[in-house]
Structure 1
């Protein structure tokens, strides 16, 4: 057993053998910044207050690490295990205080196609269940075939005791074919969460939302949060522009909803983007973040919230920071495969 201290808060927690540092922190109610939890996004990479011997940290075989990880100067908390006491320099995500990770049993309430390869899945929680989360977070779901996958909630909070997920079919996978072809109404599904540090920050900056494919799900939840907040305070919220990209128009499976928001909300604009131009497509074409760059010469006063595949997120982060003066700390992302 190892003792992990987190500065500057001074909080500490115990990590047991076989447990990642992030899992140990979350189990202890300490919310460290994190995203995918499988070593891809790098959001949980944390500095060590004092460099340690690399042998004090173990990682799964084959994991791609940065030079600083290999040198024992930083650690990838979601994958790292340790056999000694450590001191991390890591700000906690205090905005998520009061939200605890739970494991709950749910049942399939509804499932229907919103495009040829995207299904909307609603899971009903047990009566009396409390499942608070922040718009933008995600859950792990364990299916009856024992496969576990991660999906973002697509509503701002639990509605009618149910959560909504948007799931794209991956024909060669083992999770989504089961969801599409075998997961029927009333079947039981275990959910665990909420996870992730992707949520709307409370600032006055103008907002750009970037969604790729089913990355629209957490973005939809964030927009619903903004709409709800506007109703509560009865005032205009900060300007928001959504760029939703896909290969074709069919990938923008809730575009009508976005158009309705744009018509109804003075502070909201919607820009649909497709990468495969056709004669019937009247809108913008190309990579979605390139379209953002066409519209903005300087993003230094903006926040960007982006959700999509790794190549989309990394390209957007690199180009918007380097070429459009976006502050790196103002780029918030959720990456999925």
Structure 2
């Protein structure tokens, strides 16, 4: 199955699986995670996105346990190049590391191939051509169906694509994170590459899921993100109030308005919101049926954008690791 096979109906919205195992405070139990994944499949989700990093392998294991019985009906995506080593996050794009990471992922996912395998981060100590070259040999071996990149610039995409066709680029994209509009969206369109939008609900903020910074648990990555710290949070909350008013005016939820805005931007965009709750999953999937007028889209563009949002999306150390273009 190809990502473009999911271009119609509810299936265009996938499921980001990270928060079932990683980075957002205490994860649900394995039993609850498996139930969530199976409910997503039953609801029509076919695009499931995981990574070796998430839970340091636990998320791939969870996805394998929950969905291996339906493997032939899934578009399964995972990532390499950023893993857990001795309890710490490590970026390593050396060919031998990518091969070893894939072999472990196949075992955890209970499959003999992964439909889309991303380089999670470009290891700036390794030429992108070397990392993509290693992945291309895994395509030839039948272990992965297609190659993806995550959090890279248009220049890096072009260099990688010259080595082997890149099927998808994944990066953060929502009303409050517009970096992809600088060059990556255009590069994807011109090269025929699908664009996968992670954190399309602004890490829960645009779904009205974060009442205040104080509600975030220890271990929640948002606690260290500038936009979730004061005084930025209060400034952004003022934007959210207007956004919620517009959603109510349209008789939809803020989450649905966020996703509908993304879907309206281009048929080449595939959002992968994450959630732990079936009610939120149903809400997110229903966004595929929402149609926004050009006037509403323009109003949202003016309300929440790189000039009106307060704070960077990552702390400086994390920002230095990624390759995406940044607004001045």
Return the structure number with greater relative CO, CA threshold 8 A, min gap 6: 2
> Would the TM-score normalized by the shorter structure come out above 0.5?
no
Q: Structure 1 length normalisation: TM-score? A: 0.29
Q: Structure 2 length normalisation: TM-score? A: 0.29
Higher strand share: 1
